[in-house]
Chain A
Amino acid sequence: MTDNQRAGVGASPYRIDGKIKTDGKAEYIQDMDFAGLLEAAILPSPYASARIRGIDCGAALAVPGVAAVITGADVPGFYGTTIQDRPVLARERVRYVGEPVAAVAARGKEAALMALNRILVDYEETAAVFDPEEAADPTAPLLHEDLMTYEKEPIVNAIAGTNICSQFRLRKGDMEKGLALADLTLEESYEVPRNHHACLEPYGVIAQMEREGILHIWTGNQSPYVMQRSIAALFGLTWNQVRVSIPALGGGFGSKIYPSLEPLVVALARKTNHRPVRLLLDREEDFCRVTNHGCKIKIKTGVTRDGVITARQMTTYWDTGAYADCGPLVARNSGFTAAGPYRIPNVSVDAYSVYTNLPVATAFRGYGIPHLTWAYECHTDHLARKLGMDPLEFRLRNVVRNGDSSHTGEVLRSVGMKACLEKAAAAAGWVAGKPPRPVDLGDGRFRGLGLACSWKGSMRHYGSAATVRIMEEGSVEINVSNVDMGQGSSTIFAQMVVEEIGVPLGRVRVQRADTFMTPYDRTTSASRGTFHAGTAVRAAARDAWRQIQDHGAKVFGCAPEEVYSRDGKVVNPKTGEGVSHGALLKKAVIGGIDVIGRGYSQMPGGTGLDLETGQGANPTSFWMYAAQIAEIEADTRTGQIKALKVYAASDVGKAINPVNCQQQIEGAVSMGLGIGLMEELRFDEKGRLRNGNLHDYKIPTAMDAPEVEALLVEVAHPLGPYGAKGLGEAPVAPAAPAVANAVYLATGRPVWRAPLKPETMKKIWQEAGEEV
């Protein structure tokens, strides 16, 4: 059997959703049909900071076809992922350009836009602040005077009288002592500007107050149960009155984890006599809905002459925008990994999540790790050069190993960091101690290699549940609320069921998440799907298989544990004959019954982190490790950098589906290269986004795509299903600094700010007088 005909764990069968997608039949929000559907439109704030003196909606309501017009006055309450700081529509003041000030539901988008044109808003512009470091200063204009009285999650550590909505502190060892031990210290500042998820599918949501009292929301969201509970709390409903159904997602990457505009659409839907309301954002609106964080990073490291890191101090300013969303969590969860995958006895991290008058920054694949990796990995190469040491050798000397203590005091197990470095280096032909020499191609062009590595924690343990239903005719349904947004999790779950139950893959269907049908799962984020939802699915499959064995025992007249499966059939151990699952069930249960297996992922031992020291023995379910080597060509006369090839190694624990793992790595590398080479949201001096479209905001095209050699390292995790760890996020981070380090090795020019656009690089090379 070839690999793709096998379908169990470790094989690479074709994706179970491949056919509907290549037929163009997968149904995304924009494809759904509803009778009586109303279209919503949002009036955005034109100011980054202003008081609202008055709103007049009279003329808007008079537009034919308008069903509802709402403003902040119509929707009380606040929402927010970590801090309840956000009104559904602006009340009294606006805090960023694009903030919803009013919204309309009407028959047809034309009528909705016409109504928006007739809403008069009286603004008084006030002072704004856009830079997170400036915003953190106590003299900066305050975005939220009520910061200290908002409801908050326990991890939030706000600083009164400032725009710092949360501070994360980590203290390990003795910084002064550590620096004193160093022969050499290097202090640098780095920056990664705001960039954007740019899912190919623009965001959309549909909401309906159904006649029987159910609030039904269809949204391309990664966390249906978080959505259900947030919406229920905001609108005073019980959880079982809120149904969240998830259609196909055209990418997520963190942009769809938390409630964003869903509350607004629900607020409209409550005023439309049970008619469904749909909000489909234009691409330009989508750019302002949520973005990635921008970040400024200060890093100081002490090393001995032999290349041993003695101390590292980091201060980071996260631009979280006008509302906190998950900003405090990004600062915290990236904060405890900020010093990088290195053994460092003395570590200090201060991470600030800071309000600015820019759109809301949210989760982005990697949750801050790509920003930090950019800083500490460029920094690592700068240190290596000062030491006169090969960057690979320097890393191999310092990276974390099994049994090491993490920066929070966790004893690390199943660590694949060194293995990833070695695998990437072997593939690229980079021998430790002998850094590859750049090649001078003439006319100002150079070719060279660069290296970077990274680690990422997932998140603490949160529960996931699943059921596996075997129908009497032999088909199987997996019910799980993990959202397959393109990462391929539904195929992974189906493979687990094949592995455990022995049914053919073609008989397995994975339900789309729906809070009325599929059981609880916290969220599809933090690369946790395979690990947690997978654990639940495997447990449910095993539970279902035990029931099949029980039925088999009755029918075959044997002990349950003697019943086994072979080639998609349940085998009678006495005769060796196989029957289909369906045929067995028919015989076993007259009148028919579905077998339902239940499974949970509830793991022991998660801890929080101490608010003062950031110490904690088990802050994350698992760690991910990645190392990449990029081969680039740099044209110093035009500033153009071309990524030619990336050798990308990731520790996946166990590859349930190796091809799927490679797909994740390849896509992650492309995203990382975008961050490193071209992606940057440009805001003007008034906080207006100047490149909010897919022409002016550059993401890599097929022409920019390098060849990626995805390399799998398998250091099994004791709690992961079949040993698997998560994967999706970690390989985003090393790509950009690997390119930067290749540029550094090839041309000798250090860089500190991403992205390395041709214009930026040309300037750097010109100033260095290196233009040929």
Chain B
Amino acid sequence: MPEASLWGEKAATKRRVTITVNEIPYTYTLPVDLRLADFLRECLNLKSVKLGCGAGDCGACTVLLDGRATPSCIVMAVEAHGKSVLTLEGAERDRLIRALQVAFIEKGAVQCGFCTSGMILTLAALLRENRRPTKEDIKRALAGNLCRCTGYQRIINAALAVVSDGL
């Protein structure tokens, strides 16, 4: 296989990184141009991270990087060295994320499901920052998570349900 970067056939150098993903530290030697999303999907098989645009425009690949909602397609894995990443696969014991998942089902916020993981993680980050966001706060936080199926109303309502449950 040729040593080539996706960017102009330049062989990317490699770096040794340690990234804690879903509470497990992983040490890999990775090409410096490997996107965090590809590291999660291809190296760790964490496929809840969806690739929708590759340019930070759609939010489908959102993960929590040190707790912050982050588009993993415009962050390189080497940039996450020493940091911790949370994807939905690691959220089984996370009460807030669990509550959001249940609310998404109960409020009918899921249709094709492709945007769903990113939506849930974005809202989890928002609710950790601000326990009582207004509807407008929620809309603003979700503006970077595109959805083509729902018209957003039920996603916003799912978030509001979790807010009013006071989790």
A–B contact with Cβ pairs below 8 Å: the answer is: yes
Q: A693: which of B55, B115, B151 is its contact (CB, 8 Å)?
A: B55
Q: Is the CB of B2 within 8 A of A200?
A: no
Who on chain B is nearest to A197 by CB?
A: B148
Q: Is the CB of B9 within 8 A of A117?
A: yes
Q: Is the CB of A250 within 8 A of B50?
A: yes
Task: Decide yes or no whether B108 CB sits under 8 A from chain A.
Answer: yes
Say whether, besides A283-B55, A694-B55, A666 and B151 are in contact (CB < 8 Å).
yes
Who on chain A is nearest to B60 by CB?
A: A200
Q: B151: which of A17, A200, A708 is its contact (CB, 8 Å)?
A: A708
Chain B residues in 8 Å Cβ range of A666: 150-151, 153-154
Q: Is the CB of A249 within 8 A of B112?
A: yes
Task: Decide yes or no whether B95 CB sits under 8 A from chain A.
Answer: no
Who on chain B is nearest to A33 by CB?
A: B45
Q: Is the CB of B111 within 8 A of A663?
A: yes
Q: Which of A152-160, A394-402, A482-490 contacts B (4 or more CB under 8 A)?
A: A482-490
Chain B residues in 8 Å Cβ range of A21: 110, 113, 116
Q: Is the CB of A200 within 8 A of B52?
A: yes
Say whether, besides A24-B117, A201-B52, A693-B55, A485 and B105 are in contact (CB < 8 Å).
no
Q: How large is the interface on A (under 10, 10 to 19, 20 to 34, 35 or more residues)?
A: 35 or more
Q: Is the CB of B55 within 8 A of A250?
A: no
Distance between Cα atoms of A24 and B40 in the complex (Å)? 13
Say whether, besides A251-B148, A703-B140, A22 and B110 are in contact (CB < 8 Å).
yes
Distance between Cα atoms of A694 and B57 in the complex (Å)? 6
Q: How far is the CB of A98 from chain B (nearest CB, A)?
A: 17
Task: Decide yes or no whether B167 CB sits under 8 A from chain A.
Answer: no
Q: Is the CB of A694 within 8 A of B58?
A: yes
Interface positions of B from 103 to 141, Cβ below 8 Å from A: 104-106, 108, 110-117, 120, 138-140
Interface positions of B from 132 to 167, Cβ below 8 Å from A: 138-140, 142-156
Q: Is the CB of B48 within 8 A of A659?
A: no
Task: Decide yes or no whether A4 CB sits under 8 A from chain B.
Answer: yes
Q: How far is the CB of B10 from chain A (nearest CB, A)?
A: 11
Interface positions of B from 1 to 40, Cβ below 8 Å from A: 1-2, 4-6, 9
Distance between Cα atoms of A201 and B155 in the complex (Å)? 18
Q: Which of A176-184, A271-279, A667-675 contacts B (4 or more CB under 8 A)?
A: A667-675
Distance between Cα atoms of A24 and B115 in the complex (Å)? 9
Q: Which of A71-79, A107-115, A511-519, A585-593 contacts B (4 or more CB under 8 A)?
A: A107-115
Interface positions of A from 8 to 40, Cβ below 8 Å from B: 12, 14-15, 17-28, 30-31, 33
Say whether, besides A22-B101, A65-B1, A200-B148, A250 and B47 are in contact (CB < 8 Å).
no
Task: Decide yes or no whether B79 CB sits under 8 A from chain A.
Answer: no
Chain B residues in 8 Å Cβ range of A111: 1-2, 4
Say whether, besides A200-B112, A200-B115, A486-B112, A113 and B6 are in contact (CB < 8 Å).
yes
Q: Is the CB of B53 within 8 A of A694?
A: yes
Task: Decide yes or no whether A198 CB sits under 8 A from chain B.
Answer: yes
Q: Is the CB of B58 within 8 A of A200?
A: yes
Q: Is the CB of A695 within 8 A of B105?
A: no
Q: B89: which of A19, A24, A693 is its contact (CB, 8 Å)?
A: A24
Task: Decide yes or no whether B88 CB sits under 8 A from chain A.
Answer: yes
Say whether, besides A18-B104, A200-B147, A708-B153, A250 and B112 are in contact (CB < 8 Å).
yes
Say whether, besides A24-B48, A28-B114, A486-B113, A109 and B155 are in contact (CB < 8 Å).
no
Who on chain B is nearest to A115 by CB?
A: B2
Say whether, besides A24-B88, A250-B112, A667-B111, A114 and B9 are in contact (CB < 8 Å).
yes
> How many positions in chain B have a CB within 8 Å of any CB in the partner chain?
57
Q: Is the CB of A248 within 8 A of B113?
A: yes
Task: Decide yes or no whether A412 CB sits under 8 A from chain B.
Answer: no
Chain B residues in 8 Å Cβ range of A669: 151
Q: Is the CB of B139 within 8 A of A702?
A: yes
Distance between Cα atoms of A108 and B115 in the complex (Å)? 26
Say whether, besides A200-B114, A695-B57, A705 and B2 are in contact (CB < 8 Å).
no
Q: Is the CB of A22 within 8 A of B148?
A: no
Q: Is the CB of B110 within 8 A of A699?
A: no
Distance between Cα atoms of A283 and B155 in the complex (Å)? 24
Q: Is the CB of A670 within 8 A of B53?
A: no
Q: B150: which of A23, A63, A663, A703 is its contact (CB, 8 Å)?
A: A663
Who on chain A is nearest to B156 by CB?
A: A702
Residue of A65, A113, A114, A705 with most chain B CB atoms under a 10 A cut-off = A705
Q: Is the CB of A26 within 8 A of B113?
A: yes
Q: Is the CB of A22 within 8 A of B120?
A: yes
Contact string against B for A residues 481-517, beta-carbon threshold 8 Å, 1 for contact and 0 otherwise: 0000111100000000000000000000000000000
Task: Decide yes or no whether A701 CB sits under 8 A from chain B.
Answer: yes
Task: Decide yes or no whether B72 CB sits under 8 A from chain A.
Answer: no
Q: Is the CB of B105 within 8 A of A15?
A: yes
Q: Is the CB of B108 within 8 A of A663?
A: yes
Distance between Cα atoms of A251 and B112 in the complex (Å)? 6
Q: Is the CB of A703 within 8 A of B143?
A: yes
Task: Decide yes or no whether B77 CB sits under 8 A from chain A.
Answer: no
Q: B148: which of A24, A63, A199, A248 is its contact (CB, 8 Å)?
A: A199
Distance between Cα atoms of A63 and B153 in the complex (Å)? 50
Distance between Cα atoms of A767 and B4 in the complex (Å)? 55
Q: Is the CB of A30 within 8 A of B151?
A: no
Contact string against A for B residues 48-72, beta-carbon threshold 8 Å, 1 for contact and 0 otherwise: 1111111101101000000000000
Chain A residues in 8 Å Cβ range of B155: 702
Residue of B45, B53, B111 with most chain A CB atoms under a 10 A cut-off = B111
Q: B114: which of A197, A251, A660 is its contact (CB, 8 Å)?
A: A251
Distance between Cα atoms of A215 and B57 in the complex (Å)? 36
Task: Decide yes or no whether A707 CB sits under 8 A from chain B.
Answer: yes
Q: Is the CB of A707 within 8 A of B153?
A: yes
Say whether, besides A23-B88, A30-B51, A663-B150, A64 and B111 are in contact (CB < 8 Å).
no
Who on chain A is nearest to B31 by CB?
A: A110
Say whether, besides A114-B2, A486-B149, A703-B139, A15 and B108 are in contact (CB < 8 Å).
yes
Chain B residues in 8 Å Cβ range of A28: 50, 114
Distance between Cα atoms of A667 and B88 in the complex (Å)? 25
Who on chain A is nearest to B117 by CB?
A: A24
Interface positions of A from 241 to 261, Cβ below 8 Å from B: 248-251, 253
Q: A64: which of B1, B47, B146 is its contact (CB, 8 Å)?
A: B1
Who on chain B is nearest to A26 by CB?
A: B113
Say whether, besides A117-B9, A250-B112, A667 and B58 are in contact (CB < 8 Å).
no
Question: Can you list 27 residue pairs at the A/B interface with Cβ under 8 Å?
Answer: A12-B108, A14-B106, A17-B113, A18-B110, A24-B48, A24-B117, A31-B47, A65-B1, A108-B1, A200-B112, A200-B149, A249-B112, A250-B112, A250-B113, A250-B115, A251-B112, A283-B55, A488-B111, A666-B154, A693-B57, A694-B55, A695-B55, A701-B144, A702-B138, A702-B140, A702-B147, A705-B156
Q: A248-B113, A250-B112 are in contact. List 6 more A-B contacts (CB 8 A).
A: A24-B49, A25-B48, A26-B113, A107-B1, A667-B111, A667-B148
Residues of B within 8 A of A (CB): 1-2, 4-6, 9, 41, 45, 47-55, 57-58, 60, 87-89, 100-102, 104-106, 108, 110-117, 120, 138-140, 142-156
